Copies of this chain bind each other. A is one copy, B any other.
Amino acid sequence: MLKAGVLDPQGKAIGQALHHLGFSGVGEVRAGKVIELELAETDPATAQAQAEDMARRLLANMVIESFRVEIAP
């Protein structure tokens, strides 16, 4: 996700489109990416560390984006 405070024009456009469709109770909208990875690693803590390393080195732009890792069983 873009960090709080970073302008998110895609989120703004989605919010406006939802209002135009009649969804009136919609406040702030933020758009981001989700990346699902199949990992050979079976230890959850090691897999989490690997995924965080991938995010820092390639997947996220740490200047303007934050990331969160979730391990699925």
| A23-B50, A23-B54 known; A14+B35 contact, CB < 8 A | yes
- A17: chain B residues within 8 A (beta carbon): 58
Q: Which of B18, B26, B33, B59 contacts A33 (CB 8 A)?
A: B33
Cβ of B39 and Cβ of A29 under 8 Å apart? no
**How long is the Cα–Cα vector from A29 to B58 in the complex, in angstroms?**
14
A34 beta carbon closer than 8 Å to chain B: yes
Smallest CB gap from A46: residue in B: B25
State how many angstroms separate the Cβ of A13 from the closest Cβ of chain B. 11
- Known contacts being A23-B54, A25-B40, A40-B27, is A32 close to B32, with CB within 8 Å? no
The smallest C-beta distance from A30 to any residue of chain B, in angstroms, reads: 4
